[in-house]
Amino acid sequence: MSVTVDLSGKTALVMGVANARSLGWAIAEQLLAAGCQVGFSYQGERLKPELDKLLVGREGVWSQQADATVEEDLTSLFGRVKEEFGHLDYLVHSIAFAPRSAMEGRFVDTTPEDWNTALTVSAYTLVSTARHAEPLLRSGGSIISLTYHASQKVVPKYNVMGVAKAALEAATRYLAAELGGAGIRVNTVSAGPMRTIAARSIPGFGTMYEKAAASAPLGRNATPEEVGKLSLFLLSDLGSGVTGQTVYVDAGSSIMSMKLD
Ligand code: NAP
């Protein structure tokens, strides 16, 4: 049986596309294929040419610079959403950052500066973007973010980012509880390791990628396309009964404690 998702007449904002490998782009591709109108935000002008390349020739798309930690940028971005779309149906938060210094050393040595940076960029911005989106979101609207299993289990070198992802998952539940009355759902997609720019900054990522594939029940890692498909499910009416959840798309690797062969 095939399920066709028709999102014509729907609108989305995708935050955090650095290039074609970004998970935000894998999600945007599914939204665009379903006929959704999509606006994009990028952190700095440095990234604009990459995004422009992806958007060339596509209809109903626009982009604007916004550092998610800067309140004025968010005010301007959501002002643009209102101007372009009038309302918003879907918000995709695909943003994370931790200074490399916080991931190279021991977790016990995490500085307050690195802690604050990682948790502000990677978790608090879900709260602030949801606050800006709330007046524009209609009933049936949906918010997703991207998380990783290092929130639940220790993953070597993930350090403060594991704590930030735990905060993101908890924030998802609090937002879901508050926004549910207005018919707005909030979930987070827990993706297995994927080869993106953000992943490259994690020391030993290559080894982690190989080991996750080897121990996963499916014998491989999940793909960005599979992240996109789960996200489409959660954003659209297909996921209408799901809110406040951390939903895994990792070829099952998170269920394994060890593999003997
Ligand atoms: P990515 O392509 O590097 O995307 C991360 C995006 O976050 C970049 O566009 C980055 O912009 C943006 N960003 C960082 N700080 C920002 C800020 N202050 N304001 C606005 N944007 C900011 O890497 P990705 O792997 O697709 O990451 C997307 C999400 O997936 C993240 O939440 C990540 O933790 C999550 N995730 C990734 C994996 C994986 O293995 N790749 C697994 C599970 C979850 P700049 O390039 O300018 O910094």
pLDDT tens column, 77-116: 999 999 999 999 999 999 999 999 999 999 999 999 999 9
Query: Domains along the chain?
Result: 11-254 (3.40.50.720)
Q: Is the CB of 194 under 6 A from ligand 1?
A: yes
Q: Look at the block and give the residue holding tokens 């978790």.
A: 123
Residue of 196, 201, 225, 226 to test ligand 1 pocket, by largest number of atoms within 8 Å of CB:
196
Using the mean position of ligand 1's atoms as its centre, give its distance from the Cα of residue 87 in Å. 25
Q: Is the pLDDT of residue 1 over 70?
A: no
Using the mean position of ligand 1's atoms as its centre, give its distance from the Cα of residue 1 in Å. 34
Residue of 23, 25, 70, 248 to test ligand 1 pocket, by largest number of atoms within 8 Å of CB:
23
Return the pLDDT at 219: 96
134-181 pLDDT per residue, tens: 999 999 999 999 999 999 999 999 999 999 999 999 999 999 999 999
Q: Is the pLDDT of residue 200 over 90?
A: no
- What would the mean pLDDT of 191-197 be, rounded to a whole number? 96
123-134 pLDDT per residue, tens: 999 999 999 999
247-260 pLDDT per residue, tens: 999 999 999 998 78
Q: Is the CB of 248 under 6 A from ligand 1?
A: no
Using the mean position of ligand 1's atoms as its centre, give its distance from the Cα of residue 167 in Å. 16
Using the mean position of ligand 1's atoms as its centre, give its distance from the Cα of residue 146 in Å. 9
Q: Is the CB of 50 under 6 A from ligand 1?
A: no
Residues acting as catalytic residues: 148, 158
Q: Is the pLDDT of residue 47 over 80?
A: yes
Report helix, strand and coil shares of the chain as percent, to nearest 5: 50, 15, 35
149 Cβ contact partners less than 8 Å away, ≥ 6 residues apart: 155, 190, 192, 248, 250, 253, 254
